[in-house]
Amino acid sequence: MILNHIVTVLPNIKEVDCFSDDAASQFKQPFHFRNLVQIANERNIHLSWHFFATSHGKGVVDGIGGTGKHLVWSAILAGGACRSAEDFIKIEKKKTKKVILIEITKNNIDNSKTKLKNIFKWQKYSRNSQNAFS
């Protein structure tokens, strides 16, 4: 869903670099790499995934998320109301233009589940995928 947003905003994009922490949990997920290949092929883009060491809430991404939470919390303390993910995003968008949030709805998730089931029905599970990359 995030890539859908990126491709909508930047239709001529050719390469996307993704960053996340805790590589071990990604390698334990047997379908993660199959999904990355599928996304890259569908969108005709070069997709790279980079892993940071687990930061336990102290990494750059955690700081970005914390900043958004702080901005929304400040708005609530000033009398604003935040009762949903949609409210959170609206408040955050009013407070800053530097971080882009997109709402992922239950409908988005259900549609993705259906698509992923079709992609993964032929995927074989590898119990040792983590060991292949260590």
pLDDT tens for each residue of 87-114: 999 999 999 988 888 888 899 889 888 8
H or E segment to which residue 67 belongs: helix 60-77
Partner residues linked to 49 by β-bridges: 18
> Which two tokens mark 59?
């990494």
What is residue 34's three-state secondary structure? helix
Contact predicate 21/59, CB 8 Å: yes
Would you say 95 and 72 are in contact if contact means Cβ atoms under 8 Å apart? yes
Mean pLDDT along residues 52-72: 78
Residue 132 pLDDT > 90: no
The amino acid occupying position 25 is: S
Domain ranges of the chain: 14-54, 57-106
pLDDT in tens, 43-54: 889 988 877 776
